[in-house]
Amino acid sequence: MQKNISSKQEVDRRKSDAGKPVENPRGYLVTKLGFRGLEVLENAESQFPNETKIIVAKLFELVKNGEINEEIDGGQLLALFRSVGLYVRMETKINVEQDGKFVSLTDKLSNPSSSDNDDN
């Protein structure tokens, strides 16, 4: 009789586990990312898809266990990828101020402003 009760409880436990949604490690990790973290993660996924899945799974495990309890910003995530040998390439933009607004350096160099022409 006790055997039947314990087997019934085991079946009920399995059903309750099956009813839980499977957690998405990436989705959960995205909620823990800070400034530019998502940008770094997306670049890493496009450049190193297999390796990034492994790192995301490990980070998810660490966050879930409470070993990491702070927000992970883009710089920290980029440093993590580089420390394991994955050199994730990021797009670099340099903006300069021109006539009271910021423009990209390429625009500044390709389109000289009228104040630059006055100097010549």
My answer on whether 28 and 60 are in the same domain is yes
My answer on whether 58 and 97 are in the same domain is no
Quick: pLDDT tens for 97-109: 888 888 888 888 8
My answer on whether 56 and 107 are in the same domain is no
Quick: pLDDT tens for 66-88: 898 899 999 999 999 999 999 99
Residue 11 lies in a domain: no
Question: How many independent structural domains does the chain possess?
Answer: 2
Question: Token pair 């297999």 is at which residue?
Answer: 50
Domain of residue 62, residue span:
23-83
My answer on whether 50 and 77 are in the same domain is yes
Quick: pLDDT tens for 32-46: 888 899 999 999 999
CA distance 7 to 16: 14
My answer on whether 72 and 98 are in the same domain is no
My answer on whether 40 and 69 are in the same domain is yes
